Amino acid sequence: MAAQRLFRTLLSRSGTGPGPGPAGPRRASSSLPAPGTWSSRLSRLPHRDLYRLSVTDPDQFWGSAAADRLRWVEPFHRVRDCELRSGRISWFLGGKLNVSVNCLDVHVETHPDRVALIWERDEPGTEVKVTYRELLETTCRLANVLKSHGVQKGDRVAVYMPVSPLAVAAMLACARIGAVHTVVFAGFSSEALAGRIQDAQCKAVVTCNQGVRGGRLIDLKATVDAAVKSCPSVQHVFVSQRTENPTVMGQLDVPLEEVMSSQPPVCPPEPLDSEDLLFLLYTSGSTGKPKGIVHTQAGYLLYTSLTHQYVFDHRDGDVFGCVADVGWITGHSYVVYGPLCNGATTVLFESTPVYPDPGRYWETVQRLRISQFYGAPTALRLLLKYDDSWVKKYDRSSLRTLGSVGEPINHEAWHWFHSVVGDGRCPLVDTWWQTETGGVCIAPRPAEEGAPILPAMAMRPFFGIQPELLGEKGERLSGDDVSGALCIGQAWPGMARSIYGDHDRFVEAYFTAFPGYYCTGDGAHRSNHGFYQITGRIDDVINISGHRLGTAEIEDALDEHPAVPESAVIGFPHDIKGEVPFAFVVLKDGVSERGAVLQQLRELVSTKIAKYAVPEHFLVVRRLPKTRSGKIMRRILRKVATETTGDPGDVSTLDDPSVVKEIIDAHRRYTEQRAEKKK
Ligand code: WTA
């Protein structure tokens, strides 16, 4: 109760934006940095010194940043308690705060009419602006709706919506009352959605009647209806009306706008512990079952806000344009939490890069005066195939920083983005990070004024990040010009805390291969100058148009077909999507209708996972290459599919090496047939 009182006092005090306000946080321990250390001293240091401090004295660095940049209900008494070996990660212990207050109320106090969101709707020229005051009111109404329908602190709420102000309000409403949101990308199938709802045991779902993308309508509500049939934990489905089209409302369904209008626009924020859950976000790993990555309150918020400011050089008055969907971590960290914590104006991009034409991004930049444009290489690779006039006819003088995320950016796309889109005058930051890292970990910025940016390279660790390259035997690779498994040697506040409901799996997946390090699953090269270049995944995860997917998930879907005893999926290079799934399938003896089975397999993957997961290539083989212990050797399949020489590499560990010749022959026939078809 005392905390609640203090919270109210803080809220009613007119502060000076994000920060501790006149009183500052109480210092509970002499080892904590003095109030104001960040604002008055550290934030003025050169970036090189800040980085050094962040890794040599994380308590001082993060403690002062957290105290000064976030508003606390109760101050933390200890900066961190982390042990990577056991996956124990706690930051800002004892502190209490509310994320929605930091993203909304603190800004409403100082600039209520500043635009928080610009919803760039699918139909060009119909954008909607939402001020901080309006977003706070909408969030409070939605929070009250959740509360009045029994959603309480700690309950999980699934959000199955395209990017929109109500999706953002739903996330912040959960944060306001201490519920845990799990946003599911609205391109996932009903089965994929159901699997996530079941794993998280969600009590409610927030969705819309339909989505609108590239001029097409997508029946989201129908997908939710199909999903919740197998989800007994769901008590209510809140349905927003994105389109005028009527929706059939079932027993669980609640018309969202209607019930919001009768709720008050204020809702007292729940004071939450720094380490209470903020959200779960499901992502793929090397097994078939997606993992519910757990992020908590204070550390995540601080890390997204600091990276948003420093990596993208965000300043007051900027319009931040991250075109990611809220269904992915990029949307969480750089559409919602980082920008809003910094009081920014953030763009919600609902459309596609080619709707109604390939000039859409740049027309949007001109119309909204976007300062930072942050997108995925796959979209750039698609756009650079069109004439440059689609870019040049629009005024892009508002742009100051360009950013790329989600997959390696190739040189051609990097140069086109930099010189055509940015006219060669905007720093282009290739940002490397993951759902698990919470925010950007390696990127060219921040760096000293004038420090070079090398093309197609993530380059420099962010504050607090200590990248290490490890060799196959777990040895630390020192020096430059080396390649190895990319690991991180010290905990940072934005990192994931667990896998929902399975902490052992968390430890196993990230902290066991290289004890004492966070293992990213990516490989990297450290150049002669000590800069990092990501070389791609070292596990069975592939990246399709920037969407991460475990090959095992696709295999599990294929293997459900009664005619398929087993299958193996690998990533195959694609010039726009980056990678596409290539499936090797074994069919049962006597299956004659191969074409029909392959079509059923396509549909199976689409209904079990999502359309984008459907393999582009299917090769029917008699057997798969396996080791003596029965493990499928995907390395050999990768070689067969990608090496024009037909050299499968070392096959000595195979149980029966003759299988390789069979597969090479089948592959040759497959490529010949495709070439024939193209003619
Ligand atoms: C890949 C997306 C190369 C990488 C934020 C990582 C990248 C996975 C880059 C995480 C980059 C992300 N260069 N590869 N700049 N950024 N990746 O969880 O393989 O959807 O492990 O997070 O994307 O994907 P996720």
The pLDDT assigned to 647 comes to 74
Pull the structure tokens for residue 112. Answer: 């209520």
Pocket residue to mutate for ligand 1, from 332, 534, 539, most atoms within 8 A of Cβ: 534
The pLDDT assigned to 352 comes to 97
Sequence-ordered strand ranges (E) for 314-415: 319-322, 345-349, 372-375, 401-405
Atom of ligand 1 at shortest distance to CA of 328? 20
The pLDDT assigned to 31 comes to 74
The 10 Å Cβ neighbour count of residue 613 is: 25
Atom of ligand 1 at shortest distance to CA of 436? 18
Q: What angle, 0 to 180 degrees and rounded to 10, lies between the N-to-C axes of helices 594-608 and 190-200?
A: 40
Pull the structure tokens for residue 405. Answer: 């995320």
405 Cα: distance to centroid of ligand 1 (angstroms): 7
Pull the structure tokens for residue 417. Answer: 């983005």
Per-residue pLDDT reduced to its tens digit, 516-575: 999 999 999 999 999 999 999 999 999 999 899 999 999 999 999 999 999 999 999 999
pTM of the shown model: 0.93
433 Cα: distance to centroid of ligand 1 (angstroms): 5
Which residues have C-beta within 8 Å of that of residue 426, sequence separation ≥ 6?
399, 400, 401, 402, 418
How many domains does the chain contain in total? 1
| Protein residue closest via CA to atom 22 of ligand 1 | 434
Tell me the β-bridge partners of 272: 97
Atom of ligand 1 at shortest distance to CA of 430? 15
Identity of the residue numbered 604: L
Q: Are strands 156-160 and 482-488 parallel, antiparallel or unpaired?
A: unpaired
60 Cα: distance to centroid of ligand 1 (angstroms): 30
Domain membership flag for residue 585: yes
From the DSSP assignment, how many helices (H) and strands (E) are in the chain?
23, 31
CATH for 643: 3.30.300.30
168 Cα: distance to centroid of ligand 1 (angstroms): 23
Pocket residue to mutate for ligand 1, from 280, 543, 549, most atoms within 8 A of Cβ: 543
Residue indicated by tokens 């800002």? 92
The 10 Å Cβ neighbour count of residue 18 is: 20
188 Cα: distance to centroid of ligand 1 (angstroms): 19
| Protein residue closest via CA to atom 4 of ligand 1 | 407
Specify the 3-state DSSP secondary structure of 430. Answer: strand
The pLDDT assigned to 650 comes to 79
> For the chain, which ranges sit under pLDDT 70?
1-30, 646
Domain membership flag for residue 506: no
480 Cα: distance to centroid of ligand 1 (angstroms): 23
Query: Interior CA angle at 153 toward 138 and 305, to 5°?
Result: 60
376 Cα: distance to centroid of ligand 1 (angstroms): 10
Whether the Cβ atoms of residue 28 and residue 38 lie closer than 8 Å to each other: no
Specify the 3-state DSSP secondary structure of 640. Answer: helix
675 Cα: distance to centroid of ligand 1 (angstroms): 33
| Protein residue closest via CA to atom 6 of ligand 1 | 434
Atom of ligand 1 at shortest distance to CA of 547? 20
Question: What 8-state DSSP symbol labels residue 156?
Answer: E
Q: Can you tell me the distance from the alpha carbon of 648 to that of 620, in angstroms, rounded to the nearest whole number? A: 18
Domain membership flag for residue 40: no
Residues with CB under 6 Å of ligand 1 are: 283, 328-330, 405-408, 430-435, 458, 520-522, 534, 537, 543, 548
432 Cα: distance to centroid of ligand 1 (angstroms): 6
Tell me the β-bridge partners of 207: 160, 239
Atom of ligand 1 at shortest distance to CA of 330? 5
| Protein residue closest via CA to atom 14 of ligand 1 | 407
| Protein residue closest via CA to atom 25 of ligand 1 | 434
Whether the Cβ atoms of residue 292 and residue 499 lie closer than 8 Å to each other: yes
The pLDDT assigned to 646 comes to 67
Domain membership flag for residue 214: no
481 Cα: distance to centroid of ligand 1 (angstroms): 22
Pocket residue to mutate for ligand 1, from 280, 374, 434, most atoms within 8 A of Cβ: 434
Specify the 3-state DSSP secondary structure of 123. Answer: coil
Q: Are strands 518-526 and 547-550 parallel, antiparallel or unpaired?
A: unpaired
3 Cα: distance to centroid of ligand 1 (angstroms): 39
For residues 390, 385, 320, 432, the Cα torsion angle rounded to the nearest 10 degrees is: -170
CA–centroid distance for 529 within its chain: 29
Pocket residue to mutate for ligand 1, from 405, 407, 431, 551, most atoms within 8 A of Cβ: 407
Q: Can you tell me the distance from the alpha carbon of 149 to that of 657, in angstroms, rounded to the nearest whole number? A: 61
Domain membership flag for residue 586: yes
The 10 Å Cβ neighbour count of residue 387 is: 11
407 Cα: distance to centroid of ligand 1 (angstroms): 5
| Protein residue closest via CA to atom 10 of ligand 1 | 434
656 Cα: distance to centroid of ligand 1 (angstroms): 36
35 Cα: distance to centroid of ligand 1 (angstroms): 36
Query: Interior CA angle at 399 toward 397 and 404, to 5°?
Result: 145
Pull the structure tokens for residue 132. Answer: 């901080």
547 Cα: distance to centroid of ligand 1 (angstroms): 9
Domain region containing 586? 540-678
Atom of ligand 1 at shortest distance to CA of 541? 19
Residue 665: what are its φ and ψ, rounded to 5°?
Answer: -65, -45
406 Cα: distance to centroid of ligand 1 (angstroms): 4
The pLDDT assigned to 6 comes to 31
Atom of ligand 1 at shortest distance to CA of 404? 15
Residue 617: what are its φ and ψ, rounded to 5°?
Answer: -125, 140
Domain membership flag for residue 667: yes
Whether the Cβ atoms of residue 326 and residue 182 lie closer than 8 Å to each other: no
| Protein residue closest via CA to atom 24 of ligand 1 | 434
Atom of ligand 1 at shortest distance to CA of 431? 15
Pull the structure tokens for residue 527. Answer: 């150049």
